[in-house]
Amino acid sequence: MKYSAKEPYYVETFYNVLEIKDADTLVVKHAFSKEEKEIRLYGIDAPEIRMNRKLKSDEEKTHLPASLLIELG
């Protein structure tokens, strides 16, 4: 999704946070329609909280052990 100062954008309200998956991903639920959405925060690259492919990549890039990166996540 791209935003610019000249283009209109859509604002959604009345969502409650159900779950925080990790530092940059949330699961929300609309208060009235009960629709659930997963939202990933744009421009944030936070450490992972579980061992996965991205964590191994982060470990190689930062030269930090995966156990430390999981604690930071």
Q: 8-62, pLDDT tens digit by residue? A: 777 788 999 999 887 788 999 999 999 999 988 877 767 666 777 877 888 888 8
Residues 6+ positions from 64 with CB-CB distance below 8 Å: 58
Contact indicator for 48, 24 with CB cutoff of 8 Å: no
Dihedrals φ, ψ of 48, to 5°? -80, 160
pLDDT in tens, 35-50: 999 988 877 767 666 7
Per the document, the length of the chain is 73
CA distance 24 to 46: 6
The pTM is what? 0.53
CA distance 43 to 68: 22
